[in-house]
């Protein structure tokens, strides 16, 4: 857009009408130029505003897409976390149920074994008492052959007395431990004493072999004694999964 240049010449005397006419024409052209310039500025501003509006709209779309992507990512991570927590919770509950079932089975097995063991000891004691009664009866019946059968009877009495003593040693006055801490084994040794276990304060574990008369330790019993005295006693915990 061109702006015309005009030259101001001071009019001479007598030409004022022409001079005013020239000034007026030039002012109208200046106003028209300014009007065209303002229109151009308005058009440029409108274009700039349109461009800014489009950029703002594009930016808002990008922000919305970014926010949506972030939300989808968070939702996916949260969903995976919830699934993982649910799996862990289910696993813990399953292990707890299995543990309770195993404990119940072990308790039932122990109670069954305990009952059968008590019954076995009772039967064994009845058999021992019966054997002793038979020996005493035979002694009375065969009093004439006492000298001949003396050794056999003495040995039988020693065996019977030893078996009876093994069972009743924890209840004798000179037994230095709590009878509730004693566990009868019979073979290869007679007793194991968990000293203080009944009081919930275990002090020592004792391997005890009961001998009567001149009887001595067997080879296996001596090996067990040497292993205990040599501190060759170890602990092993075995766990089984019954599920």
More confident residue, 162 or 215: 215
In a domain, 62, yes or no: no
The Cα 61–Cα 234 span in angstroms is 73
In a domain, 216, yes or no: yes
Chain mean pLDDT for the chain: 78
| pLDDT at 67 > cutoff 50 | yes
In a domain, 124, yes or no: no
Cis peptide before 188 (omega within 30 of 0): yes
Listed in sequence order, the DSSP H helices in the chain are: 16-141, 150-168, 219-229
Domain carrying residue 171: 146-234
CB neighbours of 197 closer than 8 A, spacing ≥ 6?
180, 181
The Cα 25–Cα 19 span in angstroms is 10
Phi, psi of 17 (to 5 degrees): -65, -45
In a domain, 223, yes or no: yes
pTM (whole model) above 0.85: no
Sheet holding 182-184, edge to edge: 182-184, 191-195, 204-208
Residue 4's pLDDT band (cuts 50, 70, 90) = very low
Report pLDDT for 223: 94
The Cα 47–Cα 53 span in angstroms is 10
In a domain, 213, yes or no: yes
Number of domains in the chain: 1
Mean pLDDT of 166-194: 83
């Amino acid at each position: 857009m061109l702006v015309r240049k005009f030259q101001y010449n001071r009019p001479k005397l007598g030409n004022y009408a022409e001079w005013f006419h020239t000034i007026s024409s030039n002012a109208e052209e200046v106003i028209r130029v300014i009007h065209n310039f303002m229109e151009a500025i308005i058009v440029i501003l409108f274009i700039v505003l349109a461009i800014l509006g489009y950029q703002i709209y594009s930016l808002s779309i990008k922000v919305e897409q970014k926010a949506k992507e972030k939300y989808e990512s968070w939702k996916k991570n949260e969903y995976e976390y919830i699934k993982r927590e649910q799996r862990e919770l289910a696993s813990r509950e399953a292990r707890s149920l299995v543990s309770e079932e195993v404990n119940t089975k072990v308790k039932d097995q122990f109670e069954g074994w305990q009952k059968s063991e008590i019954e076995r000891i009772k039967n064994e004691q009845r058999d021992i008492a019966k054997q002793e009664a038979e020996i005493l009866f035979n002694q009375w019946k065969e009093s004439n052959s006492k000298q001949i059968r003396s050794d056999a009877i003495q040995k039988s009495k020693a065996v019977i007395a030893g078996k009876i003593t093994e069972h009743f040693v924890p209840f004798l006055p000179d037994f230095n431990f709590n009878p509730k801490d004693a566990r009868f084994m019979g073979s290869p040794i007679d007793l194991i004493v968990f000293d203080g276990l009944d009081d919930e304060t275990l002090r020592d574990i004792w391997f005890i072999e009961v001998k009567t008369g001149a009887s001595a330790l067997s080879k296996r019993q001596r090996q067990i004694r040497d292993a205990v005295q040599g501190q060759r006693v170890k602990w092993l915990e075995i766990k089984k999964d019954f599920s």
